[in-house]
Structure 1
Amino acid sequence: MMRCTMGLLLGLSCSQLLAAEPSQTGKNITLQADKIARQTQRLELQKARDAAAGNAAREQRILATSQAAGWEHLETQKARQQFAERHQREAPYLQEAKDAAAKTRKMDAPKMKIIKHKQHQP
């Protein structure tokens, strides 16, 4: 943008140098440069305002979508709580199973009663 302004300024100054008096030439060039600088500054300021408005609109849109997803956060918390409760219920059974698996395997002798048969007499 600065190059364009400088080129425009140089173009104006060359044409004015040929057509104007020396004292008027400096004043006209200065006035033209000031006019171009103010116009450029206004354009840049407007661009900055437009960009800021665009950012604010994007922020509002993102905020609205993140607030709409609040129910997802609640569901995630609920699922984590249910998982923790299930883990607490299952923990004693899992510990019992681990303890049983760690024991050495030894079969006990059968504890059956021996039944004596009576013999029949003819």
Structure 2
Amino acid sequence: MRAVCATRHTVKRAAVLAATAGLVTAGLLTGPASAAGPAAAPAGTKAACAYYNGTALTVYGQRGDRVSQVQCLLANRRYLPWGDVTGYFGTRTLAAVKKFQSRHHLTADGKVGTKTWRALYA
């Protein structure tokens, strides 16, 4: 059973990475190529955030794909600079999440739970 789960995770991750590579090749995965920030990208351009597609609780101090997804979605909405999409949920990400939550009439606790994920994907 454990090997089956690991295989599914590996296959799913490979599919996400392949899809992302295809978007990059097609020129559809955009985001500023430099540290200049959102001004470097054409107006209205958003990156395809393909790090994670779930709604698991994501909080301060965590690292990984879930955090990168939160940061990418926040950067697309200009709550976080692109240079801060690092995969680490630090103080800047915490402040951006709280600001986003406040502006979307959610409890501004800095925790990315189901309601905050839904609002980020909306």
Q: TM-score range by the shorter chain?
A: under 0.3
Q: TM-score scaled by structure 1?
A: 0.20
Q: When you count helix as a share of all residues, which structure comes out higher?
A: 1
Q: Which has the higher contact order (CA 8 A, sep 6+)?
A: 2
Q: TM-score scaled by structure 2?
A: 0.20
